[in-house]
Chain A
Amino acid sequence: MSERNTEPKPEPGIRLTEQQQRARRARSIAIAISLGVLAVLFYIVTLVKGPGVLERPL
């Protein structure tokens, strides 16, 4: 009976290098911050405009 190969198989798909992982993480953080700023901006503008937020003048 032959011995079973116990070596872990390499996972399919693309494996990121250390540099690629760092870059992706930095980009993800930047996107998160941008979306957070956008949400906060909409919230603050709503507070500033008050009921006028529903008015849409040209």
Chain B
Amino acid sequence: MSVTVARVEPSIAGVGDYIELMKPRVMSLVVFTALVGLVRAPVPMHPVMAFTALLCIAVGAGAAGALNMWYDADIDARMARTAGRPIPRGRIMPGEAAGFGFTLAVFSVVSLGLLVNVLAAALLAFTIFFYVAIYTVWLKRSTPQNIVIGGAAGALPPVIGWAAATGSVAIEPLVLFLIVFLWTPPHFWALSLYRADDYARAGVPMLPVVAGATETRRQILRYTLVLAPVGVTPWLLGYAGSLYGIAAALAGGAMVALAIRVRGETRGHTASKQMFGFSILYLFLLFAMLLVDRMAGGLFAPLWSHFPTGA
């Protein structure tokens, strides 16, 4: 019996290609939201432990990104936005990306479990599993609700950060989860409105491809109308001070105004592009304000402190 072995050229992939495989921009957002979850926790964390937790979360996010690029290499090659990624460009072989992703996933989860705590590690493992198996492998190619449900993976980092600090989960990190979760659909649908041809060519059933632009615009507005008040919730529940509440209300109002413009846009994608760009700023602003609020240490009192207690 003869065995034919395919000749594979030795890799020319550089360190930069592997860093690109980890989706550094997504990683930075994950690290930032996890940092906020960690800092908001009522238990102070030793700086070394905080750094360790964030490093593990960052590497775990990178692992998920690498595994996503491995599985989606065929889709990426057909889309202009992603055709330049390391695998479609031929810099990294799919098997190399898979090995890299699995190795990082195991190292990040095990390290977080051994060095910080088991709950945070379990949540990180679940996040990677959800992003890769549920979103990438299953939902992305099968339903226009892909990014709605898949958004849970991107929303978990603040919960992991909180769990790393406290060893438990509470309402406050779940509110942060809800903010990111509700933010994801309008953010990605705004992008998909002006990338619909790309998604259609790749066979990805994004909402504009399946249900059309008008329905997508309507859904963007609906989700934004829910997101804006939820964004203010940390203030309403007394977790954050007035400064956060005002900033979240103003930014939420701007999001709704943009969503209304997107809804009314009949020609071109100017409003969609503005919505996509501003949505990133919106999420950053909200989480940055939560960070500032914690650093300020009660300088900006929660909502109920403005009312007389009757004492």
**Chain A residues close to B by CB (< 8 Å):** 14, 16, 19-20, 23-24, 26-27, 30, 38, 41-42, 44-45, 48, 56-58
Contact = CB atoms under 8 A, between A and B. Distances in A.
Given A24-B10, A27-B15, A38-B111, A57 B117 contact: yes
Contacts of B295: none
A27 B11 CA distance: 10
A4 B10 CA distance: 35
B1 interface: no
Nearest to B11: A23
Interface of B: 9-15, 18, 46, 48-49, 52, 55, 107, 111, 114-115, 117-119, 167-168
B12 A30 contact: no
Given A41-B52, A48-B49, A58-B167, A30 B10 contact: no
Given A30-B18, A41-B111, 6 more contacts: A27-B15, A27-B18, A38-B107, A41-B115, A45-B48, A56-B118
A30 B15 CA distance: 7
A48 to B, nearest CB: 5
A58 B117 contact: yes
Contacts of B14: 23, 26-27
Contacts of B13: 23, 27
B47 to A, nearest CB: 9
B55 A41 contact: yes
Nearest to A20: B10
Contacts of A19: 12
A44 B50 CA distance: 13
A20 B8 CA distance: 13
Nearest to B120: A58
A42 B18 contact: no
Contacts of B111: 38, 41-42
